[in-house]
Amino acid sequence: MKKHYPRTLSSGANNTVIALTESEVGKIFAGDTRSDIGSEAEKMKFANQVNDLIVKFVRLDELNEEAEMLVMERVYPMDFRAYEYEKRELWLEVLEDELSALHQAGFVHRDLRRPSDMVGQPFDNILLTAQGFRLIDVGISALRSQVGDRLFDRFVAQELKELEEFRQFVLSR
Pick the CATH number of 80-171 from 1.10.3720.10, 3.40.50.450, 1.10.510.10, 1.10.287.370: 1.10.510.10
pLDDT tens digits, one per residue of 90-121: 999 999 999 999 999 999 999 999 766 666 67
Q: CB count, 10 Å around CB of 133? A: 21
Is this model's pTM higher than 0.75 or not? yes
What pLDDT, on the 0 to 100 scale, is given for residue 32?
A: 65
What CATH class is the domain 8-73? alpha beta
Q: How far apart, in whole angstroms, are the C-alpha atoms of residue 71 and residue 57?
A: 6
User: CB–CB of 55/134 below 8 Å?
Assistant: yes
pLDDT tens digits, one per residue of 150-170: 999 999 999 999 999 999 999
